Amino acid sequence: MKIKAVIFDMDGVIVNNHQYHFKAWMEFASRYNFELDEEIYRDKFNGKTNKDLFQMIFDDPTEEEIATYSDEKETLYRDLYYDDLTPHTGVLDFLTALQKRGYKIGLGTSAPTENVDFVLDNLQLRSFFDVIVDGSEVENGKPDPEIYLTVCDRLEVEPKYAVVFEDSIAGLESAIAAECTAVGVATSHEPFELEGKTQFIIHDFSEVRGLWMRLER
């Protein structure tokens, strides 16, 4: 396979922030009295857009209510994570190497624009990405392939020539449905939970060199 583009999810991939989102959701669940634990979060929440999640949690919320709920939850998350915000292990070196070698680089995340700005600007990573697509720009959230098809279209690369790094099962399903090569990053799921979803799994980007040799054969 000739790799032309590399696409990253953000949460759980660019940053290992699973526990901060989980803590924010637990606080939000306590405020609004709905059932949530780590298993429910991992199986039903991870990788989804806020719009999809609030439509699942609440009875027919309006667009205005969804926006209000989203602002509340994401403010909780950013406040919790601000002091600990850091790139995932090895990702900065990997992005630097990809850019030097001329690969097109994209970001495809279910996160709202405010969270993308929070991560990329505070960590000074924005300049690495040729294309950024967030949850506000798609009609259909993951596992629908729309977000990765959109990133590939804007990068002007056929999906079969793109590699996607994803931590969530919904995200891996999205990438595979788009006909990209999907790599699982075992942050929000244990490696055994990702087995069968993709043949490529890493814990972090310190492990990417051996994987890249396999992908470029």
Q: What residues act catalytically?
A: 9
Amino acid symbol at 173:
E
SS (H, E, C) 91-117: HHHHHHHHHHCCCEEEEECCCCHHHHH
Between CA 165 and CA 183 the distance in angstroms is 5
Q: What are phi and psi of 5, to 5 degrees?
A: -140, 150
- Read off the DSSP letter of residue 84: G
| Residue 147 in tokens | 């977000």
Between CA 201 and CA 185 the distance in angstroms is 6
| Residue 101 in tokens | 């070698």
Which one, of 36, 65, 40, 35, lies nearest residue 50 by Cα?
A: 65
Q: What are phi and psi of 17, to 5 degrees?
A: -115, 20
Q: What are phi and psi of 132, to 5 degrees?
A: -130, 125
